[in-house]
Amino acid sequence: MGEVIKVGMADLKLCMSPNAVTTLGLGSCVGVAIRDPQTKVGGLAHVMLPDSTAVKNNGNIAKFADTGVDELIRQMEAAGASKKRMVAKIAGGAQMFAMQSKTELVRVGEKNVNAVKARLAMHGIKIIAEDTGANYGRTVVFYPETGDYEIKAVGKPVKKI
């Protein structure tokens, strides 16, 4: 077992086997895990918002579904991964509060999930598993060695997708 690399909110990290990469307490954000099964190069992005072009202050590219996914792929390719072989697993995108009253923020979790899916599809990367939506927070750990994506939630057994 290697070390576990931590990804913060609106952040992304590259991760090579045997290391693992984690992000804690995903709420409406989405944890996008991508892996090249052959080189075992992987990475995890913790994206907060669906669209970088909708926000003026968009300097932090890891924050958005579109630019975050692009950047993670770019870094993985630079580390020797091939986009053709890449596969993705995604988790998060919950709606934490029943009525998040502000109209633009309604279903932001769902919008994040959809934006991530659209961006991955644009790159031709298949999503092989997902655990998204619902109303609870998730901690995720991704293992590029096996491709396992572990999901922990309060009061629920650990799930592996």
Partner 1 sequence: MANLDLNNMEGIYYDVLREIGNIGAGNAATSLAQMLQTKVDISVPKIELLDFSEVGEAMGGEEKIMAGIYLGIEGDISGSIMFLLEEKAAHVLVAKLMGMTDVVDSHEFSEIEVSALGEIGNIMTGAYLNSLSTLTNMKIIPTVPDLCIDMAGALLSVPAIEFGTMGDKMLMIETSFTDEQTINGYFVLVPDLPSYEKLLSSLGL
- Site of interaction with partner 1 (CB under 8 A): 8-11, 24-29, 48-49, 55, 57, 59-60, 63, 94, 96-102, 104-105, 108, 135-139, 154-155
CB 44 within 8 A of CB 84: no
Closest separation between CB of residue 157 and partner 1, Å?
14
Using the minimum distance from each CB to partner 1, give the nearer residue, 68 or 147: 68
Q: What's the order of all strands across the beta sheet hosting 159-160? A: 4-6, 20-26, 138-143, 148-152, 159-160
Closest separation between CB of residue 30 and partner 1, Å?
10
Which member of 12, 20, 29, 113 is catalytic?
A: 29
The Cα 15–Cα 35 span in angstroms is 9
15 counts as catalytic = no
Angle at the Cα of 159 (from 153 to 161), degrees rounded to 5?
125
Catalytic residue set: 29
